[in-house]
Amino acid sequence: DFNVVCVYTDYTNSSGESAIPADWVKVVAYQNGTALTTLTFTGEETNGYKPCDTSVQDGTTAKIVWIFEVDDPEAEVTVEVKDL
């Protein structure tokens, strides 16, 4: 069992080739000033969203999730999202 926080996104691949969202978008969750561990459950959907290591064809929008293990269930989590 894990305490987790999920970041749900609609990822549109317009790279001109198949792409893995985690290679094109940097998503980092922080708690108490430090980055949380990213969990990837390859091949498993979470609430209808595919994991961030899923290949997405050019011109396609997919529902993608980043999952982070929470260190302290009582502390606030902040998230940064940046294109790479």
Amino acid at 55: S
Which residues are within 8 A (CB) of 23 and not within 5 positions of it... i.e. 6 or more apart?
84
Amino acid at 34: T
What is the pLDDT, as a whole number, of residue 77? Answer: 97
d(CA 52, CA 28): 12
Q: Does the structure show a pLDDT above 80 at 12?
A: yes
pTM: 0.89
Nearest to residue 11, comparing CAs of 78, 67, 45, 57? 57
Q: Does the structure show a pLDDT above 80 at 66?
A: yes
**pLDDT tens track for 25-49:** 999 999 999 999 999 888 889 999 9
